[in-house]
Structure 1
């Protein structure tokens, strides 16, 4: 094997590795070698001016560790060397060097700047379209010589060309894995001259496999059939849909369903999901929609009514006591004194609720019986009488505890029994460490059994069946708080591999837990709890997410183009123009050095057009009142910011052609 040596010339590290453009093309298209991570990092370097950058600059741009770029390029280079198996490279220090196989490099100040080799640049430009292939849309029939193949196609997960292979072969050969395909029929209703043609969409799916020259595998999406009129007459057995409006009308709903399905599958398999992306892509709204699907709610009101979701928004002051537990002040009942007690944070409280829903065979109707008891006591008080329970007659305290007062005695003796006291006694737990008034509390329990239909308490068992008891906790702006400060020791418990009791940990206030607390022996995140976080890629209020936390979440980038369905039914008359302006502006933003897709303008901004529907230039008002300020912040620290602002405004107004590689 040939040994090649790195030399330093005029400050630049170089090495002649003799890999041709065609060889690079073959390597880049080798699916056994190329990972999505390799492709992503190479494309990020390729998109930089002159195809060069430092790992530090890319890390800051994409809000990830610089080491991730360094490590990925090194691993890619090692894979290339192993695949070629004809040379090894030795660095200037005498040790093996890998990064220089795809790159050259030099120091630019204190940072090391990498430049993609010219041969690799040419190869990347040739194959990148295949990596970033745009989805195409096809429509086909399902009847052969008068016999329907619909049921067979659905059952077998396929579509076949029923004609000889030559017919439609050119178009069929253009279908790729990942394209969308619709099964259709056409018919006419009415008589001439009032006859009307219809296109019936029977089923829609995603192409998953190229089986033969006339058959493709398809993952059919559960989609109700529907009819369309006033649309192109797609009468041929196989056709491609290229008109944007037709794509939207035929595939729009199914595409949204498929995207939602992929989000749900990602959350269910990982338990924790972060939706990340540019501002205005509707990540918070999407998180709530995912929660609805997971829980089985159709509307916001139904989601709230079910009580199986919670929403918090992180901020720099948010901490462990807000999220998990901490000491909180409270006023001592019927006194002016203030004390402190341990109180559950919003997440721990939510987990208790989820755990209770996942407990089977439990018998506990205390809440309903207690409310009935309070109603009886209030009614008696309104009639001027107290309620006799056991040896005492009770009224109510200011906090709805049972209160006995003997104001006619010299000692003016009084005591209160709280709801928690009675509930403890109901579960056969000593309500107070001293045991004081335990018998009186048990008397209240017995009274409730006789008069309020309180059932005998039966402790349940935790079930692993979570299908009908899923709980979703949404954390908006998850990167705006100091994550390690908020989660504390829960880094372990939220890990998908340590859900349930096997992930039990002692919290910071474990010594203050009540003996009857469900988490008295340690806190854990129940199996039926799912966490969704949202974050803007460009938010620098927290420099980066803690890496220990990053690996416990699945990550999904939500792109502006993915969420234009939010316009449906709201800005229909501006839909096409909004789409053109958004894409033009975002392409121009990508061409600004130091910016990228994380700085895109999302479709949610364009919903503000509703505020200007009576104006002659609603898009002008949208720019002046909403978009210009956002773009100004993007460009604030860049040189030639005024010139760049002018270019971006022109792109928004479609006054310039934006370069499209």
Structure 2
């Protein structure tokens, strides 16, 4: 293969019914980055010392698929005797258009699947798995046909194949062998439970249980609070703690803004080369994804929920999101096909109570959501552990000054509790030193209090002096 061929681009093969080779690749690197790969039109090997030669061998025009692997016990499409069964979910398919030749990066023309396709009983947990049609093993072509030609999997054929074994009351033989010493990074996502949530989020166990139960009962909640109390951070981890693992495929996060509309959120016309076409929005797609997988819970997270015109964005779905209306069908604005919000979908919104430029949530939507308020957690057990861990006198002094300023904010009738300074402003990513403390004071805290007291120079000066005094003797 010449260098010019390596760095050129080609059109994807149009006929998916004759695919004989595909590279099944993982997209988990500390977190699921499938969406990043799809948006950028790439795939990257997350290892510096593995799969280099294998990735370099991938040719322009080769088929590629993003997959994730896990085990499933309940709601299987066949009888497995209540045993766990290996699953490989195919989340996107594509064609390689460029190989950078560094063992790390490919350009790919991706096609995202609205709902991952579940393939059972035969998989590899390697991050890069080359599947090629083999004359002496029909399973490989069956997987290729399932992936690219939409040919259903013949479960009975796989269950009675010699590799299934007595595990399912038939015979026993292992799955395709893995390379010795390979990490099975794709096999499952990191587990995440209540204890992990309480370690990461500075609220009490009692409040966590109340929040969890509130979401499961109401199905729609809004996490409200001042800036820096960890609303967005907590929303994802709340979902993880209910799912039981850090699995991004069950989460979708978007952000509302003033120009966001029903057509962006649910469904609407969009221009194409030949006119206009009805395009499904993220909420519509995610509802369909959850509907196709009723055994799992799905979480739709909306950041800055009060920045949008909520009645305009939700439209007729204001009724369908209610807990007792889940599963009810109506015809939505741009489609004659009945649509419903599934019972296994949960909405989590975040609302910044300090932004005075935003309107309050209207009463129609407020009735359909429960509100859970987050507060600064400087006195929580978790934050106390953080202070002990860093053991820094200047850091402790800064915390004391921020708590004093919060008292001033709370006592100011024009501000109040909703404008307090959150603890996440003082949660460092690494070590704490003078440079970090000075940066937080100068570029985070002082601009914030300046915004709060733009019309009260006395209060602003008091806050600045107290904050700057933390390092004044250095």
| TM-score, normalised relative to structure 1 | 0.38
Query: 2-side partners of 1:257 and 1:495: how far apart?
Result: 27
- Following the alignment from structure 1 to structure 2, what is the Cα–Cα distance between the partners of residues 634 and 528? 41
User: Are the aligned partners of 1:478 and 1:533 in contact in 2 as well (CA < 8 Å)?
Assistant: yes
Structure 2 residue matching 1:555: 3-state secondary structure? strand
Partner of 2:280: 344
**Deviation string, structure 1 residues 631-657 (Cα, Å, up to 9, x no partner):** 111112x3xx111112223454689xx
**Selected match of 2:267 from 325, 330, 334:** 325
Residue deviations 1:569-620 (CA, integer Å, cap 9, x gap): 69723464343222111012122231111110101111358586253xx544
After TM superposition, the structure 1 = structure 2 runs for residues 335-414 of structure 1, keeping only pairs within 5 Å, are 338-358=274-294
Partners in 1 of 2:450 and 2:323 — Cα distance? 41
* Separation in structure 1 between the aligned mates of residue 324 and residue 204 of structure 2, nearest angstrom: 30
CA distance in 2, matches of 1:628, 1:315: 26
Q: Residue in 2 aligned with 1:507?
A: 332
Conservation of the 8 A alpha-carbon contact between 2:194 and 2:241: no
Contact 1:567-1:607 within 8 A present in 2 as well: no
Is contact 1:566-1:604 (8 Å) kept? Answer: no
Distance 1:585 1:554 in 2: 30
Any idea what the Cα deviations from partners look like across 1:384-422, whole Å, max 9, x if unmatched?
A: xxxxxxxxxxxxxxxxxxxxxxxxxxxxxxxxxxxxxxx
What is the CA–CA distance in structure 1 between the aligned matches of 2:358 and 2:202, rounded to whole Å?
37
Q: How does 1:230-379 map to 2 (within 5 A)?
A: 256-297=204-245, 302-304=246-248, 307-331=249-273, 338-358=274-294
Instruction: Indicate the RMSD between aligned Cα atoms, in angstroms.
Output: 3.1
The 5-angstrom pairing of residues 381-530 of structure 1 reads 468-501=295-328, 504-511=329-336, 520=337, 522-530=338-346
Q: Which has the larger radius of gyration?
A: 1
Superposed displacement of residue 266, structure 1 = 1.0
Q: 1: CA distance between counterparts of 2:200 and 2:345?
A: 31
Q: Structure 2: how far apart are the matches of 1:550 and 1:562? A: 29
For normalisation by structure 2, the TM-score amounts to: 0.52
2:202–2:377: 8 Å Cα contact kept in structure 1? no
Deviation of residue 271 (structure 1)? 0.4
Paired residue secondary structure (2:339): coil
Counterpart for residue 348 of structure 2: 532
CA gap of 1:562–1:643, structure 2 versus 1, over 3 A, is closer
1:585 matched residue in structure 2:
405
Question: CA–CA distance in 1 between the matches of 2:269 and 2:285?
Answer: 15
Change (3 A) 1:586 1:323: same
Residues 584 and 652 in structure 1, CA contact (< 8 A), matched pair in contact too = no
What secondary structure, in the 3-state scheme, does the structure 2 residue paired with 1:510 have? Answer: coil
Is this contact kept in 2: 1:589–1:648, CA < 8 A? no
The 3 A distance-change label for structure 1 pair 625 and 612 is: farther
Structure with higher helix content: 1
Give, in whole Å, the separation in 2 of the partners of 1:267 and 1:541.
28
Instruction: Give structure 1 stretches of 5+ with no counterpart.
Output: 1-220, 225-248, 332-337, 359-467, 512-519, 656-661
Distance 1:547 1:654 in 2: 45
Structure 2, unmatched stretches of 5+, are 1-192
Over 3 Å counting, the alpha-carbon distance change for 1:252 and 1:357 in structure 2 is closer
C-alpha distance in structure 1 between counterparts of 2:200 and 2:330, whole Å: 46
Aligned equivalents of 1:482, 1:324: Cα separation in 2:
14
Distance 1:549 1:347 in 2: 17
Query: Is contact 1:563–1:603 with CA below 8 Å preserved after alignment?
Result: no
- Give yes or no for the alignment of 1:556 onto 2:381: no
Change in CA separation of 1:542 and 1:507 when aligned onto 2, cut-off 3 Å:
farther
Name the structure 2 match of 1:607: 427
Over 3 Å counting, the alpha-carbon distance change for 1:287 and 1:508 in structure 2 is same
